[in-house]
Amino acid sequence: MPRAVSSSQVQNVEDLRRIAKRRLPRVVFDYIDGGADAEVTLGENCRVYDTVKFRPRSAVATPSPDLRTTVLGTTLELPFLLAPVGSSRMFYPRGEAVAARAAGAAGTAYILSTLSGCRLEEVKAATTGPAWYQLYLVGGPDVAKAAIARARAAGFSALVVTIDTAVAGLRERDFRNGIKELMTRNPWKMLPHLPQLLARPRWLAGFLRDGGLMKFPNVILPEGPAPYADVGPMLERSAVSWLDLTWIRDAWKGPLVVKGVHTGDDARRAIDAGAEAIVISNHGGRQLDTVAPTLRVLPEVVAAAGGRTEILLDGGIRRGADVVKALCLGARAVLVGRAYAYGLGAGGEAGVARAIEILRTGVVRTLKLLGCGSVAALDRSYVGVPADWQLRD
């Protein structure tokens, strides 16, 4: 393992974040790190875990807790999956394939974003674990259907439809850093923002060896792979509606996951549309700011689902204890995004593996201290929530 992500130097996800910040250009780091508008939800996604308190059972021997869980009929060795993170190839060469390989080695699933820099076939071949494909409708239904067919042929086992991106959120850091200008390939527009790239020569060398500014090889337009560009207009032209889930389900014919649910009403609509799983998500605080943190929404969605579908959650998870709290409140498993993206930016596959190990050992330690022998045995009796957490329906 490279020294930069050695276990002696990296004790938590924040350590990986600091290393990634040193290694990556500001525009790339802030793409990972930033959120929408004033970044209120970005912060609250993390802080909400501090308001949920554990209620341990003492004098209980739990020598080797069982971390396995079953999601969509597949047994995973860990109760967390790697979430779709677009443009991961910007963080590290072949970033999506690198992260998928680390997920498979750890016995968990990797979810590939439509807006990735690696071909979906390459990513699926890189992992020994299950892989899911996350779908945006960029390019229109015909382009999406072609990607769905490729994902099915490549062996992806579930389709994740993201429903909370009618337009991209206002991520002010990206605009300040000149992300639009850097994507134009116009030297005069790029020039004021180039020093931040030149200040990270090791990253820049790897970026150029990997082909430089990437395209989106899983979005095949009539003229070829979609160029790397501002995705806001593309998303706005291809917003998902509930009606779209009908033809998407017909095209996929496999397990369907709806990501971006934030209310009990939308949970019921997703179930009615045939979702085998729901991901409670506010896009990591990158879309609509000042919405509630996802953990706060979890009890409402669990109650609305009534056991009719599997509930997953993402947002703000930085420690194994966070994973355990979400499981106690009704999540089947969680998705982690920034936690492993920091690792990818810090040190490639070794960094992702270290992020996974930090979370895994954190879950083990928390279960032992709770006196609970398995993640399957976790329930609400192991946590206390604030008195004002009343269910809304």
Answer yes or no: 262 catalytic.
Answer: no
Catalytic position from the list 193, 262, 283, 325: 283
With CA atoms as reference, report the closest residue to 281 among 183, 102, 101, 160: 160
Rounded Cα–Cα distance for residues 2 and 229 (Å): 33
Q: Which residues have a catalytic role annotated?
A: 283
